[in-house]
Amino acid sequence: MNVFGSIEAGGTKIVCLIAKNSTDILDQWVIQTEAPEMTLNAIVSYFRDALSQHANWNLQAVGITSFGPVDLILNSKTYGHIEQTPKPGWTGTDIYGYIKNALKVPVFLDTDVGGAALAEYTVGAGKGKESLIYITIGTGIGGAFIFKGENIYSKHHAEIGHIKVPRIVEDTFKGVCPFHGDCFEGMASGPSMEKRWGMPANQLPDDHAGWAFEAGYIGQAVINLLYTLSPEMIVLGGGVMMHDGLIDQIRDYVASNMNDYCQPDAYKQDIKSTIVLPGSGNIAGAIGGLILAENGMKLNKKKE
Ligand code: ZN
């Protein structure tokens, strides 16, 4: 039986899947993200053990969806290497090469948010749409633009978390991004909320003023992206978005701040179906890895 593998490499944990396809998962395994050598070794052992226990599983390809930044430019000498990261030991790690050489099957790679975006597009909230933007708002902020099944970028994968969002007039908070201070991530990530309000986002009361700030910054980013790329849908995921009612505050902010300028009905009357919560569950990045592997083999998108 032909099977596909998936590795969602997150900053704190790694999710591995073996599946017939993106909806028929045969096995799932999770480990903490430790130093690269140890972690990659454990991943390879997992796949080898699982495959040796199931002689009829014929591994076709593996999709990796990795924390970033990671080099995704196909003709780059450092394709598949983790770029500068605060995660100890991971800077420069060739995650793609390691898995490919060890498992000896085609490997397809995207970022973790690129994977989650692909999962939302294929089996989640955006199923049947032509395009969507997926943004995760949690420990960090990241996003990807999927158009006709492709994650769109040229020189580097998108870094939606680091776009500029206009400062709300009365806001004096400096922001927490080590590179830009008050970029989108600097002003609206989970850690920025905690630093600004003195408690984690999930403890902030429903009527706390912080939620209006949060909806404002996310809303501004959403408007920028609607105007820049005109997607059919924006999916907002991540821990911060689990707060009840935040999605409605964002919808209200977007609807009123576009102010009828180039605001098609889909962005106005149908704002609830334009700005949505995810539909593909808490292993969206790993599901995305399966889709990458399946699509990659179907379309013969192998590197080399
Ligand atoms: Zn930044």
Dist. CA 135 → ligand 1 center (Å): 15
pLDDT at 301: 66
Kindly tell me the burial class for residue 10, based on how many C-beta atoms sit within 10 Å of its own C-beta (0-12, 13-18, 19 or more): middle
Dist. CA 30 → ligand 1 center (Å): 29
Residue 142's nearest CA partner among 249, 235, 281 is 235
pLDDT at 247: 98
pLDDT at 282: 83
Dist. CA 159 → ligand 1 center (Å): 9
Predicted confidence (pLDDT) at residue 300 exceeds the cutoff of 80: no
From residue 222, give the alpha-carbon distance in Å to each of 47, 83, 243.
Answer: 39, 27, 18
| Choice among 85-89, 229-233, 265-269 with the minimum mean pLDDT | 265-269
- Interior/surface letters 12-31, b for 16+ CB within 10 angstroms, e for the rest: eebbbbbbeebeebebebee
Dist. CA 189 → ligand 1 center (Å): 10
What are 104-151's pLDDT values in tens digits?
Answer: 999 999 999 999 999 999 999 999 999 999 999 999 999 999 999 999
Dist. CA 191 → ligand 1 center (Å): 13
Dist. CA 107 → ligand 1 center (Å): 30
Helix/strand/coil for 144: strand
Dist. CA 265 → ligand 1 center (Å): 32
Kindly tell me the burial class for residue 129, based on how many C-beta atoms sit within 10 Å of its own C-beta (0-12, 13-18, 19 or more): middle
Dist. CA 164 → ligand 1 center (Å): 8
**What average pLDDT does the structure give for the chain?**
95
Which domains does the chain carry?
Answer: 2-111+282-303 (3.30.420.40), 125-278 (3.30.420.40)
Dist. CA 48 → ligand 1 center (Å): 39
Confidence of residue 262 (pLDDT cuts 50, 70, 90): confident
| Choice among 22-36, 105-119, 264-278 with the minimum mean pLDDT | 264-278
Torsion of CA 70, 90, 25, 44, to 10 degrees: 120
Dist. CA 185 → ligand 1 center (Å): 6
d(CA 271, CA 126): 14
Dist. CA 186 → ligand 1 center (Å): 6
Q: Are 122 and 148 in contact (CB under 8 A)?
A: no
Residue 225 neighbours by CB under 8 Å, 6+ apart: 133, 135, 143, 145, 160, 231, 234
Dist. CA 181 → ligand 1 center (Å): 6
pTM for the structure as a whole: 0.94
Dist. CA 213 → ligand 1 center (Å): 18
Dist. CA 183 → ligand 1 center (Å): 5
Dist. CA 182 → ligand 1 center (Å): 7
Dist. CA 235 → ligand 1 center (Å): 21
pLDDT at 268: 79
Predicted confidence (pLDDT) at residue 302 exceeds the cutoff of 80: no
Predicted confidence (pLDDT) at residue 304 exceeds the cutoff of 60: no
User: Taking the alpha carbons of 43, 48, 51, 52 in that order, is the dihedral positive or negative?
Assistant: negative
Predicted confidence (pLDDT) at residue 99 exceeds the cutoff of 90: yes
Pairing of strands 107-111, 58-66: parallel
User: Taking the alpha carbons of 246, 247, 251, 254 in that order, is the dihedral positive or negative?
Assistant: positive
Predicted confidence (pLDDT) at residue 303 exceeds the cutoff of 70: no
What are 40-84's pLDDT values in tens digits?
Answer: 999 999 999 999 999 999 999 999 999 989 999 999 999 999 999
- DSSP structure string for 18-43: EEEETTEEEEEEEEE--SHHHHHHHH
What are 236-258's pLDDT values in tens digits?
Answer: 999 999 999 999 999 999 999 99
Dist. CA 1 → ligand 1 center (Å): 45
Predicted confidence (pLDDT) at residue 269 exceeds the cutoff of 90: no
